[in-house]
Chain A
Amino acid sequence: MDSSAVLNELPRLRRYARALVRDRAAADDLVQDTLERAWSRITQWRPGSDLRAWLFGIMHNLRVDQLRRPGLNTLPMGDEGFEVPTRATQSDHLEVNDLEAALARLPEDQRVVLLLVALEEMSYEEIAGLLGIPVGTVMSRLSRGRERLRLILEGRPPSTNLRVVR
């Protein structure tokens, strides 16, 4: 594994991380952790094997660890959150935010498969190998994820987490 090969993969790792975790800084942190772990485990890398798959696998494992960690994701607040808009600006980026917001509402395992298929154009077999799950599971996550995303984007949200209690 040489530096230029890693550098070549960086933009794609960033794209995937951004789509996966949404928050720009958190996404780059994930990429950074991935690179650090990759170099620390360089002895496990088999020359000639697929570098991209290896790096995506590391990132996937880090992300799984991250989600398992208990506790809230606490973000220090910048000032930008406190600007009181003088007019309604919420709809300015509606379409863009719609897609990101809709994606954020998918369960993580469905989002992962959807993004690896759509953005990385990986084959279903590659994804199964990367995630360590059967191809059938990849297909069912893809199927459920796509349908869920479709309903959300069409404004017909699937069941939400907060149910009304009567």
Chain B
Amino acid sequence: MSKLPITEADLHAWVDGQLPESRQAELEAYLAGQPGEAERLNAYRAQRNALRQHFNPVVDETLPARLRQLAEKPPVPVDPQKRPILERWSLQRIAAGLAIALLGGVAGWFGRGQYQAVDRMAQLTPLPRQAAVAHVVYSPDVKRPVEVTADQEDQLVKWLSKRLGTPVSPPKLGAIGYELIGGRLLPGNTGPVAQFMYHDSSGQRLTLYVSTEDTVDRDAGFRFAREGPVNVFYWVDGKFGYALSAGIDKGELARVATTVYDQLEHK
């Protein structure tokens, strides 16, 4: 029997049944003397089984029609150059092309004022990303999470309203278990924005980012974004862009977002 040293790779090969038959007994003898290792490898085996058990049912699902169709060889030959010219330029396609060109022209005319704005906005950091970054930077801070704390809420409101040039105030989320910690002023893309921070009884923090900067989607509905461990709900309401960020699951965050939205709506 070979007496090669037993490596981590051998252990995984054993878990996966990829170890050569000749070394099987050797490895099992090794594990018999290493209960800790045996336990670890059993956990890996359990992972394997759990993954299979969990994902194998996908194999038996009915295939979505769009995928089934795509599995068919495409009706058009792969090399379009080899096809007769008339087929390539069927009347239907010509008509479709003309319609697209016409629509494009019309849209272009009506949209002519928009281009500069869209182009400029593309340079800027989108609202949910700004909010997520601000959340990640400030929410883990134990000693100085905010600039002005909730016990000076009046001053906080007055200050932020003055700096943003429009009245802003933190919604009250006590009814759903989140208390205001305070807030701070932050630099946005072109000027000041505000961040309010809340926490629940377990210390879980969430931040509400309020921006009055130009937003591309005016009055956009709720949108959801994920930035690493941070989930963000954001929406635009009139001149305000709001983004609610937290490391909590989407459903819970949606519940808070709904409350925030309702309060701001009925202010």
Contact = CB atoms under 8 A, between A and B. Distances in A.
Contacts, number: 147
Interface residues of A, number: 61
A122 to B, nearest CB: 10
B87 interface: no
A163 B140 contact: yes
B50 interface: yes
A123 interface: yes
A114 B253 CA distance: 31
B50 to A, nearest CB: 6
Given A11-B61, A165-B141, A3 B136 contact: no
B250 A99 contact: no
Contacts of A128: none
A32 B128 contact: no
Contact of A166 (B16, B143, B226, B258): B143
Classify the interface of chain A: helix, strand, loop or mixed.
helix
Interface in B205-260: 221-229, 232, 247, 249-251, 254-255, 258
A28 B249 CA distance: 23
A65 interface: no
Nearest to B18: A123
A25 B208 CA distance: 29
B89 interface: no
A42 interface: yes
B184 interface: no
B73 A119 contact: no
A77 B236 CA distance: 14
Contacts of B9: 124, 139, 143
B223 A77 contact: yes
A105 to B, nearest CB: 9
Contacts of A83: 251
Interface string A1-36: 011001100111011001100000000100110011
Given A14-B59, A19-B55, A77-B221, 9 more contacts: A10-B67, A35-B67, A39-B78, A72-B128, A74-B223, A77-B223, A77-B254, A85-B251, A143-B9
